[in-house]
Amino acid sequence: MFTNRYITKGVQSEIPAVLQIFMWDCISALPEPKDYLQIFRLSCVDGKQKIIHEQEQPEFKREYILTVPNPITAKVYVIDSDTYSTMLLAEEY
């Protein structure tokens, strides 16, 4: 899973690289089996970046709070097709 990784123009322009790398690392750290769809909900809480990472099967949910210069609000999907994975904004789906 997640051999070749791609990002869309929306992710490239709106999601800082440090958060992109953090989300890829969250997926890599998941135990098997991993769902083909990973969901990340990004929001600003008390000036910090909050990230909720979820998948449906098997059910998984974890929350992270990070200190970053400019917290953002976005919903990000990572879709795996067995040969490659794509990170995209929810509105690009």
Q: What is the CATH number of the domain that holds 85?
A: 3.10.450.150
Q: Domains in the chain: how many in total?
A: 1
State pLDDT tens for residues 18-55.
999 999 999 999 988 999 999 999 999 999 999 999 99
Strands 84-89 and 74-80: antiparallel
pTM of the full predicted structure? 0.94
Query: What's the domain range around 18?
Result: 4-92
- Which helix (H) or strand (E) segment is 25 a member of? helix 17-29
Q: State the pLDDT confidence band at 82, using cuts at 50, 70 and 90.
A: confident
